[in-house]
Each structure stands twice: as C-alpha cells, then as structure tokens.
C-alpha cells in the first residue's frame, strides 16, 4: 500500500489471499494442515468457554469443507470437557476431504455421533462451522434452510472464521447468512468482516493468527488495512512551542443556505476543536450572525455575491465545501469558484450533489460521501454501492482523482491507486443529523494542519469515530455537538 508509512499496518485480506497465507503456512513453513485445524478448533473452543461459561450443551453445525473440519475439532474438545454435544453435519463424515475427514474420524473415534440438518437444535450455544472462506457462490438451498433455522433459534452463535454465507471480500451475505454474536477468524483478517453489513452478521470480531509465522505475510499485498487508534500520535505530533494560529491552516467553510444555517457551524466548531487556529464561514447573509452567537471563536461572513466571496477564498488555505450548501444558483456559483481555486478542499453533502451533476477531476481534494451520495457520484444505486463498498470507494477515487471517504458502518478511505483503509470504530448512536458536518470539519482541519489528503482522511475518520464511541458511552443517541465535545478526549494532546 502507498501512503501508510508512519505506522504499523494491520493488513486486511480477501479470501483468496488468506488461502494463499494458509498455503504458505502449510507448504512453505511445514505446518501440518491438520495441526492448523486443531489450533483453529482449540481457539474457537476457548472463546466459546470464555464467552458462555455457563453453557452445558452446544450444537455444532459442520459444512462439507475445512470450515466444517474446524467444527469437528470444537466438537471433540467440547465432548472431552464434559459438555453435551450435538453435531449437525451437512455431509456424511466418510464423504469429507482430507483434513476435515481426519477431524471427523477423531470425533467418531471418541464416540461422537452425527445428526441430520433437520434435527431440532438443542445447544445453549450454536457453533457455526458451515462455510468459511471457501464460499464461492450463493448459499445452496439445504445450507440456507439450516442457516434460517439457526437464526430463528435466537440463541448465541459463535461463527468459525466467517459467519456462514457472508462474502469475506465484500461483507455482503450471499443469499443467506448466519447472524453471529461473535466471530473468530484465523490466520489473516478478512476485509469483508469490517465494513457495510458485516457488523450485523459477525457480532464481535476476534482474530487469531494460530501461531503462524509472520513471514507468511511477507510480500503479500494487503487488500486493505485496518485503522487503529495507535496511529493517531504519528499523524498528530506534538506542536512546536512557537506555533502560531496562522500555521494551523486558515479554513473557510462554505455552506449554510436558507434553512440550513447550522451545518457549517458544526463543521466550523469541529475544526476548531480538532486544532484549527482560524475558521471562517462563508454563508447566506441572513445566517451570518448565527455562528459567532453559538461559537464566538468562529468568524462568519454573509456572501450573497461572488464579489463578496472572492477575498475570503483568496485569504484561505483550505476549503470545506458543502455543509448545508443547497443546490440553487447561489450554491452552484460558490461551488464553481471554490473548485476552481488552488486550495485543498473537502467536499461533502450538497457539494457532492453538485459534483455529481458536473463530474470534475481535480486532485488535492477529499470527498466524503455517504452511500446515497456515492451512488449519485457513480451513477448507480445505493444497493450496488453497498454490495461492494471496497470497489465503490476505489472507483470514486479514480473517477474524481480524489481521496474518498465512503461513510457508513466501517467507513472506508481510498485514494487513486492506493489501498483501502477501514475504520473499525463508530456506533449506531451516531446515526444523527450533523455527523457528516462534524467529519468534514475534522478532516479539513487536519489537512489545514499539514496532513496530506489520504492521511487527513484516515486520521479524521478515526478521530470522528473514536469521539463518537466516547460520547456513546454515556448516551443512547449522540448528537454532533456531543461528538465535538468528545474530540478533546480522543485527540492526542
Ligand atoms: N488448512 C487450512 O487451509 C485451514 C483452513 N481452515 C478452515 O477452512 C476454511 C476453508 O476451508 P475450505 O476451503 O474447505 O472451504 P469451506 O469449508 O469454507 O467451504 C468449502 C465447502 O463448501 C462448499 N460450498 C462453497 N460454496 C457453497 C455454497 N454457496 N453453498 C453450499 N456449499 C458451498 C464447497 O463445495 C466445499 O465443500 C476456513 O474458512 C477455515 O475455517 C482452518 O482450519 C485453518 C487451516
Ligand atoms: K462459518
């Protein structure tokens, strides 16, 4: 990956790449395949015991491949530990292939039995070992019936490697998907477990390398990387003692059409709290008094004409374009002038809608669409965007020569030709108005403080999500203002 040089990378892979990691562990480093499977089963069993210590009976659903093999190992360990074990098998043990067949033989040798998928599920906890990284088509009907059955039980489910039916590359179910409370994934982190719908199906995602040597990752191109709070101090180093407010980027927030006065104020406040020294709003004349009355540190100008706008653009170092901008002639004129400037720009909200109407390649800018805006920018539907968010964010980056933040659960960041960064933080309490405005202000502030567009977008998304998580500890619903207050607690001092 380019760009990711200041911090340790947590790589995310496609299923195909993880299969290559498995192969290296086995063929290059001489780890026996069944040994690896036993490690996987043992780890899954340890997690089951740790998470549901009171469970006395477990149901283990085993598919016809090696994911099922992991399930047979869990079954053996559970039986040895004195639990009552029900094992449901999609394929007869004597029809299984090599490694899984071995695991099944060890289960049978212990006196274990195998039941059909139409049996009633009796466990207090269900282990889903039906399908893993080998899923390569929509879930077959017989598997789908069992998956429905598992989900209908509403008992806790531990998914082995991947919730069965989830496409490990995209995070979308292939027809059906097991809804797990926790997923333990092995050897390499799969990128599809971290974005879009994945959270709904995976529950908590735990990772275990199964003690494979780090060398298996050498020279493997990661398909994406996970953002981590430990990266923040690398992006936001301590300030020199002689820092002047003008060194932190003069930010101009452009927006706030009739009826949308608050949006640029939120962006401006978020930018101040993220460390901008000078933030000015260019807004409708009748809204110009609002910002300083809420946040006196903000400057605000009514700009009804381009003549009034021009000097503000000239004095700025960076622009945040779009919060509450609207799409009328006034908005269009400001948008056009801003995009023609030389400054770095963050474009959000109606700025993106205007851009969709007049696609422009520019460079030195960041676009922050939610899936609906992304769909308009790509001339497609929201479902298509969400079906493969990784592909969508990269396509946007190419089309607009931009760094793009695709918002939503597991926000993604990509630049032209770069890998994709995935944000594992954030929460549903953040589904509220103004959140995008806060993100715009944060990201613009970071660009103003000297971060390049990709780093600013990654750091901004991370800071925004961490602040949202912090604010959600005390509330069911997080308002943008709550998140902005929480910024002080997540930013490195
Ligand atoms: N030695 C290894 O490579 C290791 C593999 N491990 C486990 O093995 C899994 C991968 O095993 P496999 O490659 O055998 O693949 P899976 O076990 O994930 O699935 C393959 C099986 O499912 C069938 N299948 C694929 N798509 C289907 C669909 N849509 N509907 C119904 N059936 C479908 C295939 O025909 C095949 O029988 C990993 O996810 C992991 O759980 C772990 O045991 C660690 C070691
Ligand atoms: K599974």
pLDDT digits (tens, 9 = 90+) for 186-200: 999 999 999 989 999
Instruction: For residue 65, give both structure tokens.
Output: 């491949």
Which whole-number Å values give the CA distances from 472 to 161, 181, 265, in the listed order?
29, 20, 22
Instruction: For residue 405, give both structure tokens.
Output: 């933040």
Strand segments (E) across 228-276: 250-254
Q: Which atom of ligand 1 is nearest to the CA of 210?
A: 44
Which tens digits make up the pLDDT trace of 206-216? 999 999 999 99
Residue nearest to atom 43 of ligand 1 (CA): 37
Which tens digits make up the pLDDT trace of 300-322? 999 999 999 999 999 999 999 99
Buried b (16+ CB within 10 A) or exposed e, 89-119: bbbebeebeebbbbbbebbeeeebebeebee
3-state secondary structure of 59: strand
pTM above 0.90, yes or no: yes
pLDDT band at 472 (very low <50, low <70, confident <90, very high): very high
Closest CA to 442 of 451, 432, 431, 433: 451
Pocket test for ligand 1, best of 33, 131, 140, 206 (most atoms within 8 A of CB): 131
Asked if residue 242 has pLDDT above 50, the reply is yes
Higher pLDDT, 233 or 376: 376
Structural fold of domain 10-221: Rossmann fold (3.40.50)
Summary mean pLDDT of the chain: 95
- Residue whose structure tokens are 């995976």: 202
Mean predicted confidence (pLDDT) in 48-56: 98
Residue 8 has a pLDDT of: 60
Asked if residue 157 has pLDDT above 60, the reply is yes
Residue 5 has a pLDDT of: 47
User: What counts of helices (H) and strands (E) characterise the chain?
Assistant: 18, 17
Domain extents in the chain: 10-221, 229-490
Residue 1 has a pLDDT of: 37
Q: DSSP letter string over 314-358?
A: HH-SEEEE-TT--SSHHHHHHHHHHHHSSS-EEE-THHHHHHHHS
By CB atoms closer than 10 A (0-12, 13-18, 19+), residue 489 is exposed
- Portion of the chain with pLDDT greater than 90, in percent: 92
Which whole-number Å values give the CA distances from 59 to 40, 159, 386, in the listed order?
17, 12, 33
- Portion of the chain with pLDDT greater than 70, in percent: 98
The DSSP secondary-structure symbol of 27 reads I
Q: Which atom of ligand 1 is nearest to the CA of 33?
A: 1
Pick among 3.40.1190.20, 1.10.3720.10, 3.40.50.410, 3.30.9.40: CATH of 229-490: 3.40.1190.20
Asked if residue 447 has pLDDT above 60, the reply is yes
Strand segments (E) across 343-470: 345-347, 365-367, 403-406, 412-414, 420-422
Task: Return d(Cα 165, Cα 384) in angstroms, integer.
Answer: 18
Asked if residue 111 has pLDDT above 50, the reply is yes
Closest CA to 210 of 240, 241, 184, 244: 184
pLDDT band at 3 (very low <50, low <70, confident <90, very high): very low
Pocket test for ligand 1, best of 29, 31, 63 (most atoms within 8 A of CB): 63
Write down how long the chain is: 493
Residues with CB under 6 A from ligand 1: 22, 26, 33, 36-37, 40, 63-70, 99, 131-140, 143, 160-161, 186
Asked if residue 276 has pLDDT above 70, the reply is yes
Residue nearest to atom 29 of ligand 1 (CA): 139
Mean predicted confidence (pLDDT) in 376-397: 97
Kindly give the distance from the C-alpha atom of residue 131 to the centroid of ligand 1, in angstroms, as a whole number: 5
Which tens digits make up the pLDDT trace of 405-442? 999 999 999 999 889 999 999 999 998 899 999 999 99
Residue 2 has a pLDDT of: 38
Task: Return d(Cα 148, Cα 69) in angstroms, integer.
Answer: 22
Which tens digits make up the pLDDT trace of 36-46? 999 999 999 99
Which tens digits make up the pLDDT trace of 171-190? 999 999 999 999 999 999 99
Which tens digits make up the pLDDT trace of 252-275? 999 999 999 999 999 999 999 999
Which tens digits make up the pLDDT trace of 325-343? 999 999 999 999 999 999 9
ipTM: 0.98
């Amino acid at each position: 990956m380019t760009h990711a040089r200041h911090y340790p990378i947590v790589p995310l892979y496609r299923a195909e790449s993880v299969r290559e990691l498995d192969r290296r562990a086995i063929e290059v480093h001489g780890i026996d395949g069944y040994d690896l499977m036993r490690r996987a089963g043992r780890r899954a069993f340890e997690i089951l015991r740790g998470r549901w210590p009171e469970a006395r009976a477990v149901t283990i659903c085993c598919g016809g491949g090696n994911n099922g093999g992991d399930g047979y190992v869990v079954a053996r360990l559970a039986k040895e530990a004195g639990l009552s074990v029900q094992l449901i098998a999609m394929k007869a043990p004597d029809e299984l292939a090599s490694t899984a067949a071995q695991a099944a033989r060890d289960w049978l040798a212990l006196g274990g039995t195998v039941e059909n998928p139409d049996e009633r599920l009796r466990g207090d906890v269900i282990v889903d070992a039906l399908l893993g990284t080998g899923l390569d088509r929509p879930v077959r009907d017989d598997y789908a019936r069992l998956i429905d059955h598992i989900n209908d039980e509403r008992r806790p489910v531990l998914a082995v490697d991947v919730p069965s039916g989830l496409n490990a590359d995209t995070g979308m179910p292939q027809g059906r998907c097991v809804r797990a409370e926790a997923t333990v994934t092995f050897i390499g982190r799969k990128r599809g477990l971290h974005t879009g719908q994945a959270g709904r199906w995976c529950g908590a995602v735990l990772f275990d390398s199964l003690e494979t040597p780090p060398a298996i990752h050498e020279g493997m191109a990661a398909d994406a990387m996970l953002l981590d709070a430990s990266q923040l101090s690398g992006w936001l180093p301590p300030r020199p003692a002689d820092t002047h407010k003008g060194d932190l980027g003069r930010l101009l927030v452009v927006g706030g059409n009739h009826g949308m006065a608050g949006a640029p104020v939120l962006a401006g406040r978020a930018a101040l709290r993220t460390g901008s020294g000078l933030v000015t709003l260019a807004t409708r004349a009748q809204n110009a008094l609002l910002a300083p009355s809420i946040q006196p540190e903000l400057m605000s100008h009514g700009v009804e004409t381009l003549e009034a706008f021009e000097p503000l653009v000239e004095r700025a170092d960076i622009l945040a374009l779009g919060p509450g901008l609207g799409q009328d002639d006034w908005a269009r004129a400001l948008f056009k002038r801003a995009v023609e400037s030389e400054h770095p720009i963050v474009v959000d909200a109606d700025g993106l809608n205007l851009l969709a109407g007049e696609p422009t390649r520019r460079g030195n800018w960041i676009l922050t669409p939610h899936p609906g805006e992304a769909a308009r920018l790509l001339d497609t539907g929201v479902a298509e965007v969400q079906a493969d968010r990784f592909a969508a964010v990269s396509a946007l980056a190419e089309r607009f020569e931009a760094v793009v933040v695709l918002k939503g659960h597991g926000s993604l960041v990509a630049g032209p030709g770069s890998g994709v960064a995935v944000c594992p933080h954030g929460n549903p309490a953040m589904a509220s108005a103004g959140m995008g405005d806060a993100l715009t202000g944060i990201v613009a502030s970071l660009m103003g403080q000297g971060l390049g567009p990709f780093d600013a977008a990654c750091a901004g998304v991370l800071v925004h999500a961490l602040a949202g998580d912090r604010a959600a500890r005390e509330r069911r619903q997080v308002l943008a203002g709550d998140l902005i207050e929480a910024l002080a607690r997540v930013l490195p001092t």
